Structure 1
């Protein structure tokens, strides 16, 4: 499955894995890639594919926390 993911999507999944399977915002380094449009698009795509679960800030669409799903672990070869 990971063969049809972009390099950035795999990096995002790997970053979540490195943080114990759950990553709280900001999702990048301040001033570098924190909540850039591409990261938000990757989050939406990975959520739609059920590779991550996204908890959003109350009253907003901004992601607050992302968690790998079993399918996300599989995509990283961590079955």
Structure 2
């Protein structure tokens, strides 16, 4: 299934892939970078598209774990 991904969304998927398919926030950046509105929007869109799953860490400001789904791997031509 083809996906119309922005460069930023594709970069985020690739970053998750580089970490073995599971990436925990704040993604190696300061909390300020991890909470950029555009990044939050990309995460929400990718989750809605079924390309990643998002599991919040305990506590509202402790980040989350992103995991590539089978669809996410397919979007990166990794099937």
TM-score, with length taken from structure 2: 0.85
Structure 2: runs of 5 or more not aligned: none
Structure 1: runs of 5 or more not aligned: none
Q: How does 1:1-79 map to 2 (within 5 A)?
A: 1-2=2-3, 4-30=4-30, 33-58=33-58, 60=60, 63-79=63-79
- The number of residues matched between the two structures is 78
CA distance in 2 between partners of 1:45 and 1:56 (Å):
16
TM-score, with length taken from structure 1: 0.85
Runs of 4+ in 1 over 4 A off after TM superposition: none
Give RMSD over aligned pairs.
2.1
CA distance in 2 between partners of 1:34 and 1:65 (Å):
12
Q: 1:44 to 1:28 in 2, by over 3 A?
A: farther
